[in-house]
Chains A and B, each alone.
Chain A
Amino acid sequence: MKTPLLQFTEKGIYCQQANVYLDPWKKVDNALITHGHADHSRWGHKKYITQHDNVPIIKHRLGAIEATGVNYNEKIIINNVTFSFHPAGHIPGSSQIRVAHKGDVWVFTGDYKLHPDGLSVPYEPVKCNSFITECTFGLPAFKWRPQQEVFNDINEWWKTNKAEGKTSVLFGYSLGKAQRLIKNLDTSIGTIYTHAAVENLNEVIRPHFSLPDTVRITADTDKKAIAGNIIIAPPSAHGTPWLRRFAPFVTATASGWMAFRGARRRRAVDRGFVLSDHCDWNELLTAIKETGCEKVITTHGYTDVFSKYLQTLGYDARTEQTQYEGENAETNEENEVTS
């Protein structure tokens, strides 16, 4: 049997013909990277190739690495295999990777969402025969409301807290979710303060994406000035002495998992907003249909259930084990790679 164009090996998704890996989880020579979250861009590869906007992000996170930036839709040909990066709409600088060889076309999504978030370059469907997709929220129980409705709720929440003399603390992963929140907040309500982990990434992202003004919280920040305003912090700041000094405050988390009542209660935040950078059920099905693919490989999330359902729709669907954070996301809720 002919070797498939992409194989799942213990180091990652491998293209033998070109000798490159896509989002490998073990050290390799050549890595094509979809986006900057920790489970997709790991440390220790010799060469990194990724979309331009993602270069400063992974350099910020991984330090001195050899990284080359390419444009969306730009073709890179390695030993007759054509690679190209296409917008995934997940976070700033995120891509799907198209791999084509002699008429066989594969697309690896990394993480993605279909609805525009007002910040990252929106998802574009790419035609292919084989579609390697995440399905973090691949259950019919997940259906996102339009982003504007969610932000109306968030802004309303901020206003109410302010009226009650309380500071709003909104948790979101420092890469991606935090900037999406910042971009869509109603700054006529007040000032956006940021945790250092968030602000560091804001600085990396600002040259390529326009973000509203934010104020970095430092040791010298006047606590009284913050009162009634909003703080954007990573989930790990929850319950820390760092946060406690800004009392009185109200906390909230923005994540897809907040769709579940149990998950909301488990986080012990005052409020949960259902806001995800991943596809919901209908988006996943739409995306798959638009690629025109026959084969689907699910990598992380509710993979078994989702691929079984795809089979009933007539797709040649299966699951491959990867080390992307899928079901195990729940084991480390602070790690909001998947939210």
Chain B
Amino acid sequence: MKAFGELIRILDATNKTNEKVKALATYFKEAPAPDKLWTIALLSHRRPKRPVTTTLLREWASEAAHIPLWLFEESYHIVGDLAETIALVIPEESVTHDKSLADFATDLLALYNKDEQQKKEYLLTTWQQLDYYERFAFNKIITGGFRIGISQKLMTRALAKATEIDEDILAYKLMGDWTPQTTTFNKLILEENEEDYLSKPYPFYLAYALDQEPAELGDVSEWSFEHKWDGIRAQLIVRNKELFVWSRGEELVTDKYPEFEVFTEHFPDGTVIDGELLPYPNNSIGTFNDLQTRIGRKNITKKLLEKTPVIIKAYDVLEWKGEDVREQPFKTRRGYLNQLIQLCKDKNLPLYISEVMHFNTWEAAAKERERSRDVKSEGLMLKRNDSPYLIGRKKGDWWKWKVDPLTIDAVLTYAMRGHGRRTNLFTDYTFALWDNNELVTFAKAYSGLTDAEFRQVDNFVKRNTTDKFGPVRQVTPELVFEIAFEGIAPSKRHKSGVAVRFPRILRWRQDKKIEEANSLDDLKALIIE
């Protein structure tokens, strides 16, 4: 555990990605195999089942720190992270231990079946034995997703560096439902496996937002247009009668979408397509909210599959009959896509094509873009007819031309302290709209202001608090903000009766008084029936 605590200390002391990768790679070279395996597990969000509730953790931590529970809670609200708060308030003791990370992880697994008194004794003893960074890491293992600014991708990169195994192959090796109890470092990482190559995805080609007048892109006839669908970008691979579904986060999500399994019977061997995964209830494109019911779910029940089926709207073909065709022009690749669609015609597969459009003038294209919300897209994608399929985010051949977000002027009514780098600053806000003479909450937003503006609003909150509810401060309604959002739908779960998608602060309307903020009716008028 000492080495792991030291690793966390180093990772925490720097904000440079290269330094983090270096520290992790060194750890992956030097640590014992079981510790490496646990580190990989933790950083890919496989932690042991939480052995104690956070309520008990808070009670016991306040006891160990010799402070009343309310004082612990106040400290927690300010620090913003339970694992960190516990690590901070526990007094340093001179006792120590010689256990490894894997030992502690195994303890925690065993703890799950112990009684409350045994759990308490174990935690109080362990907290005393650990130093600050070990204690922080230990608490992180217990409390949550082990989010410490190290993404799975970064961890994979470090592991690639340490093992000299290709990063994409490692990414695949790390997929699936393994746990440190069911495998070993050798088996999971080092052993060669033919199948590793079978599932290998191509890196996604990503577009930048259009930053100029479209007419400046030149002759409109050189461009293909598609709607930009609002789902999850995905890559579907069929090789050797096996299907692999990769999300843009380079996460293998095959198991989550069983409806695609049928493609193995119809796609030619060696087919890779790029497309958008979309919810398709009642045979039409649903909202992102619908898709959300599928994303987080581990068990895909029959009922869920019937209620919210998904489809793939295909954009492109990257591999055709076993051949990498990314270098061929977009037009040619779309030809393969049409062939694929023909092959699958009348078979009632969850495969649709993202239709290509051509326009004679840029004005006509602009007109189509304005229609985007009606067809449930976010705007248009512009692709040069002769563009190859590039790697990563590149300028020039592909552009996204999104519709402007919907906006509304709302009043700041509540604030909470932020987390992470916004610890101790009031940066999480609740906004309300007028309903007759009352302000009704409609959205929360956390982003969109500059650091300087956040500091000003933080200052306002601290000076204009009218009531406190735990970590939440009610503030004098005085500040008006323009809130932007991507979509809007009726909702029974929200007090306002409306759910908005991806709300964020567009700007602070210092020129507006609260009486000039919008009403709930103004918001509802934006819903497209």
Chain A interface residues toward B at CB < 8 A = 139-143, 257, 259-266, 268-272, 302, 305, 308-309, 312, 327-328, 330-333
Residue B81 is within 8 A (CB to CB) of chain A in the complex: yes
- With beta carbons under 8 angstroms apart, the residue of A265, A270, A309, A331 that contacts B16 is A270
Any chain A CB within 8 A of the CB of B421?
Answer: yes
Given contact pairs A270-B15, A302-B78, A305-B74, A312 touches B420 in the complex (Cβ within 8 A): no
Cβ–Cβ contact A330 & B425, under 8 A: yes
Chain A residues within 8 Å of B78, by CB: 139, 141, 302
Query: Which stretch, B84-92, B329-337, B388-396, touches the partner chain A?
Result: B84-92
Residues of B within 8 A of A330 (CB): 424-425, 455, 458
In the assembly, what is the distance between CA of A259 and CA of B91, in Å?
15
Nearest chain-A residue to B459 (Cβ)? A331
Q: Does B326 contact A (CB under 8 A)?
A: no
Evaluate whether A265 and B89 lie within 8 angstroms (CB atoms) in the complex, with A328-B459, A330-B455 already known. Answer: no
Closest CB of chain B to A245's CB: distance in Å? Answer: 21
In the A-B complex, the 7 residue pairs with the smallest Cβ-Cβ separation, listed nearest first, are A262-B423, A265-B421, A141-B88, A331-B459, A266-B421, A331-B455, A141-B75
A331's partner among B14, B68, B456 (CB-CB below 8 A) is B456
Chain B: which residue is nearest A331 at the CB level?
B459
Which chain B residue lies CB-closest to A334?
Answer: B455
Q: What per-residue 1/0 map shows which CB atoms of B61-98 lie under 8 Å from chain A? A: 00001011011101100111100110011011000000
**Given A139-B74, A265-B421, A330-B424, are A312 and B88 neighbors across the interface (CB < 8 Å)?**
no
Minimum distance in angstroms from B39 CB to a CB of chain A:
19
Query: Are A259 and B88 neighbours in the complex by a CB distance under 8 Å?
Result: yes
A sample of 13 cross-chain residue pairs with beta-carbon separation below 8 angstroms, ordered by A number, consists of A139-B78, A140-B72, A140-B89, A143-B91, A260-B423, A263-B423, A264-B12, A269-B15, A270-B13, A270-B16, A271-B13, A308-B70, A312-B68
Return B147 CB to nearest CB of chain A, in Å. 11
- What is the CB-to-nearest-CB distance from B149 to chain A, in angstroms, rounded to a whole number? 8
Give B residues with C-beta under 8 Å from A.
12-16, 65, 67-68, 70-72, 74-75, 78-81, 84-85, 88-89, 91-92, 149, 418-425, 451, 455-456, 458-459, 462-463
Among residues of A, the one whose C-beta sits closest to the C-beta of B72 is: A140
Q: Which residues of A contact B459 (CB under 8 A)?
A: 328, 331
Q: Is the CB of A261 within 8 A of B68?
A: no
Contact status A261-B84, CB under 8 Å: yes
Give Cα A327 to B460, complex, Å: 12
Say what secondary structure dominates the interface of chain A: helix
Judging by beta carbons under 8 Å apart, are A262 and B422 in contact?
yes
* Closest chain B residue to A259, Cβ basis: B88
* Total A-B contacts with CB atoms under 8 angstroms apart: 87
Chain B nearest CB, measured from A50 CB (Å): 29
User: A257 to chain B: which residues have CB within 8 Å?
Assistant: 424
Chain B positions within 8 Å of A305 at CB level: 71, 74-75
**Among the listed B14, B16, B71, B425, which residue makes an inter-chain contact with A140, where contact means beta carbons less than 8 Å apart?**
B71
In the complex, chain B residues whose CB is within 8 Å of the CB of A260? 79, 84, 423-424
Complex CA gap A17/B459 in Å reads 36
Measured CB to CB, the nearest residue on chain A to B92 is A143
Residue numbers in B under 8 Å from A259 (CB-CB): 88
Which B residues are in CB contact (< 8 Å) with A262?
79-81, 418-424
Chain A, Cβ-Cβ closest to B62: A140
Q: Complex formed: what's the CA distance from A325 to B16 in Å?
A: 32
New A-B pairs, 16, CB < 8 Å, besides A139-B75, A266-B423, A270-B14: A140-B65, A140-B72, A140-B75, A140-B88, A141-B78, A143-B91, A260-B423, A261-B420, A262-B80, A262-B420, A264-B12, A270-B16, A305-B75, A308-B70, A330-B458, A331-B456
B85 touches A261 (CB 8 A): no
A258–B59 CA distance with the chains assembled, in angstroms: 26
List residues of chain B with CB within 8 A of the CB of A270: 13-16
Q: In the complex, how many angstroms separate the beta carbon of B100 from the nearest chain A beta carbon? A: 24
Q: Which of B85, B455, B463 contacts A141 (CB 8 A)?
A: B85
Instruction: Kindly list chain B residues whose C-beta atoms are within 8 Å of the C-beta of A140.
Output: 65, 67, 71-72, 75, 88-89
A264 to B9, CA, bound (A): 13
* A140-B89, A265-B15, A265-B420 as given contacts; A327 in contact with B75, CB under 8 Å: no
A308 to B455, CA, bound (A): 27
Question: Which residues of the other chain, A, contact B74 by a CB distance below 8 angstroms?
Answer: 139, 302, 305
Q: A332 vs B451: C-alpha distance in the bound complex, in angstroms?
A: 10
Q: Cβ of A266: which chain B residues have Cβ within 8 Å of it?
A: 421-423, 425, 451
Query: Is B71 within 8 A of A331, CB to CB?
Result: no
- Smallest Cβ-Cβ distance to A260: which chain B residue: B423
CB distance from B57 to the nearest CB of A (A): 16
Known pairs A140-B65, A328-B462; A268 contacts B89 (CB<8 A): no
Closest to A157 in B: B13
Residue with the highest number of chain B CB atoms closer than 10 Å, among A140, A268, A272, A327 = A140
Q: Are B455 and A332 in contact (CB under 8 A)?
A: yes
Report the bound CA distance from A110 to B80 in whole Å: 29
Within 8 Å CB of B16, what residues of A?
Answer: 270
Which among B16, B72, B462 has the highest number of chain A CB atoms within 10 Å? B462
Residue pair B12, A261 in contact (C-beta under 8 Å): yes
| Most A-side CB within 10 Å, residue of B71, B81, B462 | B71
Q: Which residues from A are CB-within-8-Å of B422?
A: 262, 266
Which A-chain residue is minimally distant from B12 (CB atoms)?
Answer: A261
If A261-B84, A328-B462, A330-B425 touch, whether A268 touches B15 (CB-CB below 8 Å) is yes
